[in-house]
Chain A
C-alpha cells in the first residue's frame, strides 16, 4: 500500500516538474532553451550524492552491527546511485556541448562526479571479486566509507575551484523565483523517485536472500 502511495506521489511530482520545466519557467536569455537541462542535471547530481551518503551510513552500520538489512540497503542505494551518476554524466555532456562547445571537459565538478562513478563501480566490483557473499559485503562497506571522501569534493567543487559549472548560482541567490521553484519541485520529484526505487530494490535484494535461505533448508 505504501509503495502505491509512493508511486502516485512520485508520478504527480514528476508531471508537475515536467510542466514547470517545459511550460512555466521562462527561457534563460543567454543560454536559451538548453538551460532547462539544468532542472534535470542538478537533481541527478543530488541523487548521486544522496545515494552515496546512504551507502556511507549503511556501510558504517553494517560493519558495526553486521546486520544483512544494512548491507541490502547500502547495495540498493549504490545501484540506484550508479544509475543517477551515469545520468548526471550523460546529462552533463548534453549540457556541455551546446554551452561550452565540447562534450567533455576536465572541469572540477564533472571530474569529481566521474571519480564518484568509479567509486560506485569499485563498490560492485569488489563484491564480484570477493567470492564469498559476506566477505564481499565487508569489502564493499569499506569502499562505501572511504569513497565518502569524494562527496564533499563533488558538492563543493564549484566553490573551491571556481569551475565553469553553473551549480554555484543556486546558493549565490542568482536564480529567479520561478527558476528556484522549478528546481525545488524537480529536486523533490527525483528524491521521491529515489525513495521509490530504493524501496523496490531493497525488497528484491531481501527476497533473493530469503530464497537462498529456503533453498538451503531444502538442501
Chain B
C-alpha cells in the first residue's frame, strides 16, 4: 500500500474540484431563473 496517499489525494482533489464546480453551476442556475422570473414580472407590470 506504499504511496496510497498520492492515489487518494489525486482522486479526492479531482472529485472535490468537479463536484464543487457542478454544485456552483446548479446554484447559479437556480438564482438566475429566479432573477429572470422577477425581471419578467417587472417588465409585465411596466408594459401593462
Contact = CB atoms under 8 A, between A and B. Distances in A.
Interface of A: 18, 32-34, 36-37, 40-41, 44, 83, 86-87, 90-91, 94-95, 97-98, 193, 196-197, 200-201, 203-204, 207-208, 210-211, 214-215, 217-218
Interface residues of B, number: 28
Contacts of A208: 32
What is the predominant secondary structure among interface residues of chain B facing chain A? helix
Interface in B1-48: 1-4, 6-7, 9-11, 13-14, 17-18, 21-22, 25-26, 28-29, 32-33, 35-36, 39-40, 42-43, 46
A197 B22 contact: yes
A37 B6 CA distance: 8
A34 B6 contact: yes
A210 to B, nearest CB: 6
B10 A86 contact: no
What is the predominant secondary structure among interface residues of chain A facing chain B? helix
Contact of A197 (B2, B4, B21): B21
Contacts of A90: 10, 13-14
Interface of B: 1-4, 6-7, 9-11, 13-14, 17-18, 21-22, 25-26, 28-29, 32-33, 35-36, 39-40, 42-43, 46
A40 B8 CA distance: 11
For the complex of A and B, 6 pairs with smallest distance between CB atoms: A207-B32, A34-B3, A214-B39, A98-B3, A200-B25, A94-B10
Contact of B32 (A97, A193, A211, A218): A211
